[in-house]
Structure 1
Amino acid sequence: MFTCRNQSCGAAWELSDVVIKNEGQGLLFRCPMCGARNYVTRHQTKEGETTYEQVTEIPPYGKR
């Protein structure tokens, strides 16, 4: 479950509801409701499955 970090939105989304892509600033999804950027990280499970986790703190500028 992902949550839009835009303070005025806060909508909750499943992975199937969002499109994760790299717009040149790292992996993110745009909130389908308000268009805000929400950053994620990609992980590989031992079984080889790709999972995503939402970044709750934006790292300092230039450090991803």
Structure 2
Amino acid sequence: MFTCRNQACEAQWEPSDVVIKNEGQGLLFRCPMCGARNYVTRHKSPGGEITYEQVQDIPPYGKQ
């Protein structure tokens, strides 16, 4: 489950609900509701399965 990091939104999305892509600043998905950028990291299992994990160490907008 991914959660939009925009403090005003905070919508939750299943990985199948978002499109993960690189817009030149690393892998991310844009929240389908508000359009905020949410960064992810890519992991590859020994079996070859690709998974994504949301980056949590970047403070959400509005929280500093």
Matched letter for residue 52 of structure 1: Y
Q: CA RMSD in A?
A: 0.5
TM-score (normalised: structure 2): 0.88
Equivalence for 1:35: 35
Greater RCO, 1 or 2 (C-alpha within 8 Å, sep 6+)? 2
State the AA in 1 paired with 2:12: A
Residue in structure 1 matched with residue 46 of structure 2 by the alignment: 46
What are the within-5 Å matches in structure 2 for residues 1-64 of structure 1?
Answer: 1-58=1-58
Please, which runs of 5 or more residues in structure 2 have no aligned partner? Answer: 59-64
For structure 1, the residue ranges without an aligned partner over 5 or more in a row are: 59-64
Displacement of 1:55: 0.0
Aligned residue type for 2:36: A
Distance 1:22 1:45 in 2: 21
Identity, % of aligned pairs?
Answer: 81
- In the alignment of these two chains, the number of paired residues is 58
**Runs (4+) of structure 1 moved beyond 4 Å?**
none
Per-residue deviation, residues 5-55 of structure 1 (Å, max 9, x unmatched):
000000000011000000000000000000000000000011100000000
TM-score by length of 1: 0.88
